[in-house]
Amino acid sequence: MSSIKNFREIIDIDLESIDRILRSDDKNAALDMRDLIHRRNDFLLDSKKFLKKTYETELIKHIKEDLEKLEKPTDNYPKRNVKVIKAGFGGGKTHTLIYFYHYAISKGWRVIAYSGNQNDLTIWENFEYEITNNYSPSKNVPSKEKLEDIINNITTPTIYLVDELVEEISSKSPEIAGHYASQVITFIRNLIEISESNRNLYILITLPDEDDYKSSDNVRTFIRDMEHRLKRYISTIALASDYNKYEPYRIIRKSLFGDYSQSDIDEQVKLIVDYFKKSGALDSKQYGTYLQQFQESYPFLPEVIELIHDRYSSIFQKNRHIIKFLALVLKSIHLSGKPRKYIGLGDIDLDDKEIQGFLKNIFTSNSKIVFEKTIDEMRILDKDKLLVKRAITSILLQSLPIDAFARIDNKSILRNASLYAYLEHTRIEYEKQLIQAIDENLPNFLYLNKNSTTNEYVFRSFLNLEHIIRYKLNQLKSSRDFSRVKDKIVRKYLSEYIREEYNRYNKRDFEIVLETLEDANNTVYSIDTPKLKFLFYYEMPYDDLMKNMKDILIKRDENKDRIYKNALIFINLQNLGVTEKILEMEIMKQIEINRELDSYYDGEDQLKLAKNELKNRLNRVKEEINRSLYKVNLDIYLPYLNRNTSDFEFKPKPLKDQDDTRKNIFQMLESKFTDLDIRKNGLEIDILKQMLEKMLLNNDYIE
């Protein structure tokens, strides 16, 4: 029987490539066309090595199809002989040009390479010199007639590579940058027009995103003008980021690892993912997607690439920074000499000075403080608490906010932070160590409260921590320990956190939230309580919650059933839910809001706002409705559909015939939507039925 092996037995680290990446003088590890032009980078000059370490992206394949037509009959020639490769910093623009430099050399073609940051000659002077071995110095572009004479000297297949034009513009003084930019555009436009009659010339030009140069008006104007004035000559603006979703995984593997067998990788990945599923670390519904992702990301767990490539993309300059950071991680693993079956977030050694330095340079100031404080706390852990250290590392990297667009995925944190307990140790002592370590590190996360822009992420961090502990203790059936930790995290820290922001919002709104949080400790969070278990499966953006609190909280009389009040308020907290379960809760919430508004607010405006809110949210979630399916107990929401019952603890009896169940619920729902006339505002009853079918399929109480 096959066994899970050390990943280095399947795919080994390319130490030569890692050494080259980390020795780069450029702090961004960027390739530079100047090094190729001036023949001063051995790696760039070695066609065999460069092509071997370059993954052929969809963009490269597309351009190759055009270039291959240079060798074929005239009628097969590309309709447009120019491509503009447009992407942000680190998107692979220069790498793609260098690839085609070597590709053309291997074909025996002529190559002309120009990099705007070389600053020796203007682009038109350089072009003339490369073609004729001579040039006429001039501050203005040559006439069309002269340019045509130059191009007529091109009699064999030739590829013209143009890089870093924007860097050239930005290096000019503001007084001359605008004029020079206009001259560059005129030259390229004339070059393209004239070269259309010369079937031997193919032009590749790189262009960055306008947003990468927010501080330079001249550069932004140049980029816009390039796209606008040359669009009739450009068949496609090829986006370097417009690729298969797994291309980043493949680029990383090609850059950092040696030769491998994909079949061997697939076999190992299946063994690991099967174990994840069996151990409870992976939901069965995630199995197929996770298996496919892991086959592409191995030996890194998919969440490592997802976190760095997707969430940290604004600070990691796409592939460039990602590859350098992962090279540091692999170097650390190599030097440790410890075997790894795979590489997860917990395997990133935050004690490594180079890794620390890299992360500190990119984190925001508040995140850096939390990062440093957490590392200090981790240093005091005993060596036998490696599991705890890994779990804290995973939580820390997932929880730190990077910028306003950072996203935190509760499910990834849960999966990764709890994984090692199943794979490496199952003793209860380790479970308790994990709980203790997380509890001790809460003040570090709480420090972020001082910066109001990070409220959302701190709030989520508490929920993530609670979710992990709740999940793990549920595995241990240890309700006593759960109660202890629950009180500390939810009642104490979370309540204190909300009180810090007390004066910013309406006092009564806060009292309702605090009362609900504390009441819910006894009714909602208990492991054995089936009601509202969905709470910690979804994000609760704190800022959005508080901004809308006044409008969405329903003021109920104190004699109303407490559980019903808790349920309704917590439903309101799920204001960004995207699964069918949350969709159903949102629908029910809006029905109740409409009903309450009729009595608490005398006017149609509020009712209209509530209906519009439902319509807007439904539009946002329609596309997501099929993505996530979770097990649901109908006793969570069935009591709230049927207002005739006075017992809000009502638990429906199992029904023998599921068709009867469907029919009854459909009738209740359809009648309510008919009464409120919401369907014409965008709700399709078919969506409701599809949603309910999936919920019934996963429902565990129907016999």
* pLDDT tens figures, 54-65: 767 777 777 777
pLDDT above 80 for 37? no
Phi, psi of 72 (to 5 degrees): -110, 175
* 572 Cβ neighbours under 8 A, 6+ residues apart: 552, 553, 554, 589
| 85 within some domain | yes
pLDDT at 79: 54
> Residue 113's pLDDT is what?
83
What are the tokens at 277? 């599923």
Burial class of residue 580 in the structure, from the number of CB atoms within 10 Å of its CB (0-12 exposed, 13-18 middle, 19+ buried)? buried
The predicted structure's pLDDT at residue 266 = 92
Q: For the chain, give the mean pLDDT.
A: 58
Mean pLDDT calculated for residue range 14-20: 83
Q: Using pLDDT thresholds of 50, 70 and 90, give the confidence band for residue 201.
A: confident
* 469 vs 148: which has the higher pLDDT: 148
> Which runs of consecutive H residues, i.e. helices, occur in 337-427?
353-362, 365-379, 386-399, 410-423
Q: What is the pLDDT of residues 222-236, one digit of tens each?
A: 777 777 776 665 544
CATH classification at residue 234: 3.40.50
107 in a structural domain = yes
Kindly state whether residue 145 falls inside one of the protein's structural domains: yes
Q: What does the pLDDT look like over 521-550, one tens digit per residue?
A: 333 332 222 222 222 222 333 334 333 333
Residue 98 within a domain = yes
Is 413 a residue whose pLDDT tops 50?
no
161 in a domain, yes or no? yes
- Report the candidate in 427, 492, 499, 425 with the shortest Cα–Cα distance to residue 465: 492
Residue 417, pLDDT > 60, answer no
pLDDT in tens, 88-133: 555 577 778 888 888 888 888 888 888 877 667 888 888 888 888 8
SS3 of residue 163 by DSSP: strand
Asked if residue 67 belongs to a domain, the reply is yes
Higher pLDDT, residue 275 or 163? 163
Highest mean pLDDT among 187-191, 364-368, 378-382: 187-191
CA distances to 173, 242, 376, 500 from 329, rounded to whole Å, are: 41, 27, 20, 38
For residue 495, tell me if it sits in a domain: no
pLDDT for the residue numbered 554: 36
Residues 257-313 have pLDDT tens digits of: 888 889 999 998 998 888 777 765 566 777 888 898 899 889 898 878 877 766 555
Q: How confident is the model at residue 337 (pLDDT cuts 50, 70, 90)?
A: confident
> What percentage of the chain exceeds 90 in pLDDT?
1
For 380, residues 6+ apart whose C-beta sits below 8 A from its C-beta are: none
> H or E element: which one contains 202?
strand 201-208
Residue 201: φ, ψ to 5°: -110, 130
Selected residue with higher pLDDT from 663 and 702: 663
Average pLDDT rounded to a whole number, residues 503-531: 37
Q: What DSSP element (H or E) covers 611?
A: helix 604-621
pLDDT at 31: 63
- Average pLDDT for residues 71-79, to the nearest whole number? 55
Number of compact structural domains in the chain? 1
The answer to whether the CB of 166 falls within 8 A of the CB of 214 is no
Nearest of 151, 158, 168, 63 to residue 115 by alpha carbon: 168
Residue 255: CB partners within 8 Å, gap ≥ 6? 17, 21, 53, 55, 323
Q: Given pLDDT bands bounded at 50, 70 and 90, which one contains residue 348?
A: confident
User: What letter does residue 451 receive in the DSSP assignment?
Assistant: S
Nearest to 144 by CA among 199, 200, 190: 190
Q: Across the beta sheet with 82-87, what order do the strands follow?
A: 110-115, 158-163, 201-208, 82-87, 237-239
Query: Residues 6 or more apart from 438 whose CB is under 8 A from it?
Result: 391, 392, 395, 465, 468, 469
Is 158 contained in some domain?
yes
Contact 519, 511 (CB under 8 A): no
How far is it, in rounded angstroms, from Cα 403 to Cα 454?
9
Q: What value does the mean pLDDT take over residues 35-58?
A: 66
Token pair 């793990």 is found at 472
- Top pLDDT among 114 and 443 is at 114
The helix (run of H) or strand (run of E) holding residue 298 is none
Q: Which residue has the higher pLDDT, 560 or 231?
A: 231
Residue 103 domain boundaries: 58-239
With bands split at pLDDT 50, 70 and 90, how would you rate the model's confidence at 44? Answer: low
Strand, helix or coil for residue 114: strand
**Percent of the chain with pLDDT strictly greater than 70:** 38
- The 3-state DSSP class for residue 203 equals strand
Q: Which two tokens stand for residue 522?
A: 């006894």
Q: pLDDT per residue over 603-636, tens digit each? A: 445 445 544 554 554 444 333 333 322 222 333 3
Segment of 309-323, 378-392, 649-663 carrying the highest mean pLDDT: 309-323
Least confident of 170-174, 360-364, 367-371, 446-450: 446-450
The average pLDDT across 400-416 equals 36
